Amino acid sequence: MKNVFKSVVLLFILIFSGTANAQTKSPKLENSLLWEVSGNGLSKPTYLYGTIHMICSGDYSLSDKTKKAFDASEKLVLEINFNDPKEMAEMQQLAMGKEPLSKRLSPEQLSKLDAILKKSAGMTIQQVDAFSLVTVMSLISMKTFGCNDLKFYEMDFIEKTKAKNMEIAGLETVKSQFKSLNDAYSDSEMIAMLEESDTELTKEMVVAYKQENLEELYKVTTTENVMNDKAKKYMLYERNLNWVKALPEMMKKESLFVAVGSAHLAGDLGLINLLKKAGYTVKPIMK
């Protein structure tokens, strides 16, 4: 279960942040996962990279332009610093439920969840009773990729920092991210989302990601019954605004490689547009 614990938060960034509705106020973005942030007093550029967090090994790739930008950077900035033992310990603790699901959920909710588990993961509610609902959702969501050899972009970036003796920082903590999840979704809403799990949607998302098509990523992952206005507020907009407040001071000190979920890049309240509004020049790196 160690790998499950490690992937819990990564999975949830993907599931929730990746399904936010695209906003139409901002200009259409070019097809690039990598963006350069400069100007506004910065002596060195910062690189903003949109990840899919996880992908099957056969679909995994890292472009030469991304490797070049990473090598030119002095610090890696992730949503959460997964290299911090305290954060990993916190994640493992939060992966376990405060009380068994059989006590937390109603009989109707338990019945629905048991049916979903049997259908999608070949498991029963009894096997996951001690876990939090977040962990159960992560386990089920892993199945939508249709492989057993998932690779995690953030973990790969962390490994690359070791060769450079490069520092790592996080924009938020595991605890704050789980709070955002709990504020965004009730138990019933989480279970309803699981009922909408779709392997075909995941396949389309992977294709769009490999094409670096941020707009298409929004299109294939947007459904009204997956993320309501409350969820968008807590899982996407508030976090983006918090990150944009933290980044300027960090970017002044050194060149950053900022790797966050692709869904955080686009839209009127996406990082690209928010950084532009803050006075920075933000442009795509095409090759």
- Return the pLDDT at 17: 47
Whole-angstrom Cα distance, residue 144 to residue 133? Answer: 17
Convert the pLDDT of each residue in 190-220 to its tens digit. 898 888 777 887 888 899 899 999 877 766 6
Convert the pLDDT of each residue in 232-269 to its tens digit. 788 888 999 999 999 999 999 999 999 998 888 988 88
pLDDT at 22 over 60: no
At 223, the pLDDT band (50, 70, 90 cuts) reads low
Whole-angstrom Cα distance, residue 234 to residue 192? Answer: 18
260 strand-pairing partners? 50
Closest to 244 measured CA to CA, from 279, 263, 271, 276: 271
- Return the pLDDT at 178: 85
| Domain residue limits, the chain | 2-284
Convert the pLDDT of each residue in 67-88 to its tens digit. 999 999 999 999 999 899 999 8
Is 259 within 8 Å of 82 (Cβ atoms)? Answer: no
Q: What is the pTM of this model?
A: 0.90
* Beta pairing class for 34-38 and 150-152: unpaired
Task: Tell me the average pLDDT across 34-63.
Answer: 94
Torsion from C-alpha of 177, 179, 183, 186, nearest 10 degrees:
100
